[in-house]
Amino acid sequence: MTAPARSPRRARHGAPRRPRWGLRIAACAALGVLAAAGIGHAVVSGIDHRIGRVDVFRGMKNRPVTSQGMNVLLVGTDSREKITKEERDRYHLGGAPCHCADTLMLVHLSAGHDRATVVSLPRDTYTEIPEHTDEKGKRHPAHPQKLNAAYAEGGPALTVRTVEQLTGVHVDHYLEVDFTSFMKTVDVVGGVRVCTARPLQDRYSGLNLPVGTSTLNGGQALQYVRARHLDGAADLGRMQRQQRFLASLLQQATSSGVLLNPVTFQQLVTSLLGSVRADRGFGSGELVKLGRATRSLTPASAEFVSVPVGVTNFPVPRLGSTVKWDEAAAGKLFQALRDDRPIAPRVPGGPHDGNATWSARPGTPVEVAPAQIRIQVYNGSGRAGLARATDQALRATGFGTTGQPADAPQPAPQPRTVITYDPRWDRSVRSVAAALPNAELRPARGQGPVIKVTLGTDFKEVHPVWAQTAPQPGRSGAVTGDEVVCPGSR
CA 307, CA 297: separation in Å to the nearest integer? 23
Angle, in degrees to the nearest 10, between helices 25-36 and 284-294: 70
Query: Do 71 and 216 have their domain in common?
Result: yes
Query: For the purposes of burial, counting CB atoms within 10 Å of the CB of 268, is it exposed (0-12), middle (13-18) or buried (19 or more)?
Result: buried
Residue 459 and residue 480 share a domain? no
Paired with 316 in beta bridges are 320
Q: Are residues 338 and 396 in the same domain?
A: no
Q: What angle do CA 312, 317, 318 make, to 5 degrees?
A: 105
149 within domain boundaries = yes
Domain limits at 189?
Answer: 25-362+472-484
CATH classification of the domain holding 400: 3.30.70
> What per-residue confidence (pLDDT) applies to 245?
79
- Give yes or no for a contact between 107 and 71, defined as CB atoms under 8 angstroms apart: yes
- The reply to whether 315 and 428 lie within a common domain is no
Q: What is the mean pLDDT of each run of 10 residues along the chain (490 residues)?
A: 40 35 40 46 60 86 90 78 66 59 85 85 93 89 94 93 96 81 74 81 81 84 75 64 77 64 65 72 68 62 84 88 91 93 59 35 73 91 91 88 89 91 89 92 92 94 75 55 60
Please check whether residue 141 lies inside any domain of the structure.
yes
- Which pLDDT score, from 0 to 100, does residue 227 have? 75
3-state SS, residue 320:
strand
What's the rounded Cα separation, in Å, for the pair 440 and 465? 18
352 and 377 fall within a common domain: no
Single out the residue of 115, 141, 148 nearest to residue 337, CA to CA.
115
CA distances 3 to 174, 213, 299, 445, Å, are: 43, 29, 34, 17
CA distances from 422 to 6, 8, 245 (A): 10, 15, 34
State the total domains in the chain. 2
The answer to whether residue 10 is domain-embedded is: no
Nearest to 352 by CA among 205, 478, 438: 478
Identify the bridge partners of residue 480 per DSSP, sorted by sequence position. 303
CA dist., res. 227 & res. 229, Å (int): 6
Nearest Cα to 471, choosing from 311, 237, 238? 237
| pTM for the full predicted model | 0.66
Domain containing residue 302: CATH number: 3.40.630.190
Nearest-CA neighbor of 177 among 291, 278, 81?
278
Asked whether residue 86 falls in the same domain as residue 174, the answer is yes
> Are 444 and 477 part of one and the same domain?
no
